[in-house]
Structure 1
Amino acid sequence: FCQRGQALIEKLLSINNDNNLEFLAYSLRLLPYLHVFTRGENAWTQRILEHLFRTITTERQMVSRSNPLQKQANCLIDLCLNYGHTIVIYFNDLFKVTQGLVRQQTSTEQQTKLAGWQWSILVECLAILLNHFESFEQKAIFINELVQPFAQILSKFDLHVNDLQSFIGYIGLKPTPDAISTSNQRLIFLSIHILCGLLRRITLPTDPTICSNGGYQETFDGIVFIRNPAAPIFIQLTHCLFKLLTYCHALHSPDSPLSKSSLSFLLTMTDADKAVYLQQQDNNDDVNILSTTQANSPILSTNDRRLHNRFSSFLDRLEILIGTYLTLKPDLYKLKDSLNIIGTTLFSSL
């Protein structure tokens, strides 16, 4: 029975036809389910992992905005979730290759350009595999390196944005945005999507021995906490993230400059639109255009609909990230003026 399963895996691994992406995508989806037939043999695991990684990260020129591979890309996440204990031995190799691809995204001479969903999948997979590490310090170091590109993007935002009008200009919320603001918008939206996905994938150990010996336990104000290894770097982003949320809330105020512009549709969201956004992948920075049939849905152009979808999806992820952020105890408690920062930001939406 296992031999037949392995024969099928062998055939699926040989599929690499870019002329039929639907077929290629479904072949990828099958591989994690067939991994059970490998009986945990490292040679098979390595071949499956390399095939999924290589196929998902290959840059392709898409004629249509619909990408079948993007729809099935979670197969790599499924493999890491179900067989992480086996795959974790390849973590260093995966991390090295991923960081190499990430560095190219900010290089003037890009060899490979990652789409947002590709970048997100890789980061989430690494975060999942990190859960198999026992050392708090080791996990914190890797998470810090994964977050650094996005920390730089958010720091640049923090440096250049000091009021609502500059925020609107910085991320190009105007009828004819320039190339710089368009790039800023993509990077800010993408950063929030990926940071949200990364933080949600990090789990805390439940084994008391690992918690004690691995450096997770910390006593603060007489209470013993199990620290999140993502806390050291995420706490450094507190000001930027809450500042970003504050400006997003300000956009929805009655006297917002956006409410009097041709982009006022960004501040409204129907139930039908909401359903559309929730159907999107968390890692999708270029949300597909889906139409709604509700009578109260605004009639928008293709570009306006895309911007509407992307902005609302970004705001959803930002609020989820902030909600997850509140679990970073006791680091958040020790942050100077933390209660003031949180209270001011959250009440700004009321």
Structure 2
Amino acid sequence: MKSFKKIFSTKSKSSHSPESSFKIGGMGSLKVLDVTPSPEEDSEKLKKAFQGLGTDEEGIIEILGHRDASQRKKIRETYQKLYNESLIDAIHSELSGDFRKAVILWTYDPSERDARLANEALNSKKRGIKNLEIIVEMSCASSPQHLAAVRQAYCSLFDCSLEEDIVASVSSMPLKKILLGLVASFRYDKELVDMDVANLEADRLHEAIKTKELVHDDVVFILSTRNFYQLRATFDCYQKKHGNSIDKDIMKLGKGDLESLLKMVILCIDTPEKHFAEVIGTSIIGLGTDEDSLTRGIVTRAEIDMMKIRGEYMNIYKSSLDDAVIGDTSGDYRRFLVTLLGGKI
């Protein structure tokens, strides 16, 4: 392999006031207080919100909906120490429905959340490509470190590896081969690209598509081991050399599960914001709302790239993502999702 060449190389009024100023990190939409209360203070307020005549749902949203992953972890640990009770268990007993599910998923450590979502998908009675979205997302739209943490969490929680459950649950051999390649990977995560390799591998992918060998060892190797910047360069070379985007050429072969899975893999690697905009859009548009997909799309990306997803949603659907969520949800569930989107009702 040739050597790789680098081509890329307000202050709060009060931490207790509802008018406290917020900060937003990176391309995420989550608004975190400039000055946050201590984990002890947050834990005490949550305990009070769970007690008394009726649950204070607004108080729960106000706290958890404005804390990042590291702050939520400290709150979970502190709550357990103070009350000898799991915060997740307390939320489960006090809340209900889609609101409860969303708050619990948000409160989990991100790696535990994805491990649980993957386990739920693999053990679901529903079968189909949609169920495998979470596994592709955590493998192709997250950092290598996050995927490694998910695999470790999966083993701890379920006494078996993620790979074992994929083998046991996914009946299609081609799908199994691709998913196993993706989840077992630990990609290089720096912005390094070798254009000679990109050109060679663009041709190799084109040859595999032309000969309908979509699960050729070379295809699985390229998609599951190359770093994301390298793959984006490869996809770009593919389009320039062969006229079509790689996902379009794959979908010309058919619209079966294999083609759909590979398209999802490519989209999550190339433009994850487009994938998640479509996940959210598909969950809202049509008859009835797919709350599980809507929750997953917002909860898993609020701290990562929700601002980009918002822009992509507008490009695809010519409407505001925030307005779509507000129009299609209600009550505390709506209030919580809008909070994670950085809005207020």
User: Shorter-chain TM-score: which interval?
Assistant: under 0.3
Q: Higher relative CO (CA 8 A, sep ≥ 6), structure 1 or 2? A: 2
TM-score (norm 1): 0.27
TM-score (norm 2): 0.27
